[in-house]
Amino acid sequence: MDEKLSKVDPKLLDLLVCPLGKGRLTLNRQTNELISESARLAYPIRDGIPIMLVSEARRIED
């Protein structure tokens, strides 16, 4: 994985919430996504920038 992709400012992560469920997000370093457990969505991180659009998020299946 490109090292640049996984670099997200930790302070930014503390401020971000899921735009759909308004819940906290956790960083999944393996998939390089921000995970919203409450909304069951995974938001991608591209070039170190979280893409916080529901239309860009991947639905988390059980």
Beta strand 26-28 pairing with 33-36: antiparallel
pLDDT tens figures, 5-57: 457 778 888 899 999 999 999 999 999 999 999 999 999 999 889 999 999 99
| Number of domains comprising the chain | 1
Closest CA to 46 of 61, 60, 31: 31
Task: Give the Cα separation of 55 and 58 in Å (integer).
Answer: 8
pLDDT computed for residue 14 by the predictor: 87
* Three-state SS at 10: helix
Distant-in-sequence, close-in-space partners of 24: CB < 8 Å, separation ≥ 6: 17, 18, 36
What pTM does this model have? 0.84
Residue 1 — very low, low, confident or very high, per pLDDT cuts 50/70/90?
very low
* Three-state secondary structure call for residue 13: helix
User: Which structural domain, as residue segments, surrounds residue 47?
Assistant: 3-59
